Every structure is written in C-alpha cells, then in structure tokens.
Amino acid sequence: MDRTYLIDALEHYASHQSTIGQVLHAGHLPTPPPMAYQVHFTRVEMVLIGELEMEMGSKMGMEERHIMQAGDVLYVPAESWNKPNWTQPVVTLSVLVGKQNFGMSLLSWDGEQFDASIKESVARRGPRTGTFVLQALEEMTWQMGDQQTQRLLIRTLCSHILYLIHHPATTYSKSKTLFDTVRDYLEHHYHEPLSRESVAEHFYVSPNYLSQLFQKESKHKFNEYLNHVRLERAKFLLKEYDMKVKEVAHRCGFSDSNYFCRVFRQQTARTPSQYRVQYRSNLEAEV
C-alpha cells in the first residue's frame, strides 16, 4: 500500500455515505486494561477491510466489546480508551486530531503481523469546519444522536481532511513553526518535570531564545503557558475523578502541591477543592 490508498479511502467515505456503517463512541471508564490506547487528544478509528474486535470504555462506567465490520467507525474523545484485538486480517485507518494538524495512520494486519503502514499529516486551519464537526461528534457521545446524522458527520470530516490535503495551508515562518511544535510538545508532555532549560535543550535552542519565541508568538511567558496547559488538565481531573488534590497536582506535572494550589487559586479565584465542589453542585442542579 502507498499514500494513494489512504487518499482513496478518504475519498470513498467522503463520496459514499451509505458505505459508512455503525458509529460507536468510546468513554474513559472504567480504568483501561493493559495495552489499551488512551491519549490526551481525540481519535477516530475506522475499519476499511475485514473486521476487528474492539474493547472500549464507556461513559456509563462499564467496559464494552464490539465486532467492528468494514465501514464501522469508533469515535474516541480525549482521555477515553480503546483496545483492538488483532486476531484476523484487517485494514484500519486512524485519524488523530491535534490542535495544529490531523495525523492519519493506515495499518494492514495479515493475521500475524503488520505487513504495511502508512502515515500522513496535514495542517489544520484553526477553528473552522473541522472543529465544528468534531464538536458535533463529541456532543453525540453524550446525547446518543441518531446514526444517520453521525454518518453524515464522519463523511464531512473525511471530506474536510481531503480538502486540507489537496489545498495545503499557507507555510508559516520558521519561528511560528517552531512555536507550534513546542506548544504541541508541552500539551503532550505537561505531566513530565519540564523546565524552560530542558525544553530548550530538547529543541536545540537556547533558553533565552525560547523565552523570546513565546513572547513573540503567544504574548505569554514560557512558564505561564506551561502552567495554563497543566491547569486545564487539572480541571478535567478534578471534575471527572475523585483524586486527592496532591495526586492531581502530581499527575499534571506540579512537584509541589502547595504551589499548584496557589497557582490554581490565582487563575480561578478558587481552591482545587472548591472548584470540584462547585462544578458538581452545578451539575446536580442541571439534572
């Protein structure tokens, strides 16, 4: 297989909505089993040829298991998990949704090993069609929307990615490209003990240059941006899990829980515990 096969697959589903089968949705509960895939960004998994047994989490807290047929689609929101069981020949297409690009991975499993793999990446163009389609699919996860609408959304997503492939976004300056790359790195490694010096070393630039880059491209200091990423993740954990505040701080890259609480309060005018209580009170009031 080559890149043409991947584009042909996208064109097929973009042009023939009737060939899109069941649209499934994964959740983040219960705790994922060993070897499951769980990442901090949205994914879309499609079976192109054959069938694939797929384990997945759910919003109801129970593990689910489905046999995905050719044309079936699995929408996996950020933090949710799935586990494919590779037992018989199958060809799959994965779309990974990054803030700056769509990453595509086409895999062919012959029953014993992967005999072909194609990877492609295409730059996104900010909060336009692609984002709105994904927001609609995200809403379907919680509202259990009708399958016909979901198939239309998958078809639209394939069409949008094809458009981006055939009409590449304008090339940015070297500094903007580097900033976007560093930003993606922070959003995927925020839980690690990062510092301005360690990130600068990773990208082979000086710490001072990294600081200037953030001031130029984001109008924020490096540490301010890193703390913002970590706090957004902390808010999610506080809302979704009953972790102790100290554990939340640790999982989000804060080695000092007191510092975490201080920064959290500066940004939200509430302590982490108060934030959790208020969120859950508002949730109960809506029921």
56 φ, ψ to 5°?
-155, 155
The dihedral over CA atoms of 127, 128, 131, 134, expressed in degrees to the nearest 10, equals 170
Q: What pLDDT score was predicted for residue 286?
A: 64
The overall longest dimension of the chain from CA atoms, in Å, is 55
Instruction: Name 126's Cβ contacts closer than 8 Å, sequence gap at least 6.
Output: none
Mean pLDDT of 181-200: 93
Q: What pLDDT score was predicted for residue 282?
A: 81
What pLDDT digit, counting tens, does each position of 111-170 carry? 999 987 888 888 887 655 678 888 888 888 777 668 999 999 999 999 999 999 998 766
Show me where the domains of the chain are located: 3-166, 174-286
The top-level CATH class assigned to 174-286 is mainly alpha
Three-state DSSP class for residue 109: strand
Q: What pLDDT score was predicted for residue 127?
A: 53
Specify the DSSP element, H or E, that contains 51. strand 43-56
Q: For 144, left (φ over 0), alpha (ψ -120 to 50), or beta?
A: left
What pLDDT digit, counting tens, does each position of 231-256 carry? 999 999 998 888 899 999 999 999 99
User: How many other CB atoms are found less than 10 A from the CB of residue 213?
Assistant: 20
CA atoms within 13 A on the CB side of 61: 2
- What does the alpha-carbon distance between residue 281 and residue 286 come to, in Å, rounded to a whole number? 9
Q: What pLDDT score was predicted for residue 171?
A: 64
Selection from 135, 148, 160, 157 nearest residue 23 by Cα: 148
> Does pTM surpass 0.85?
no
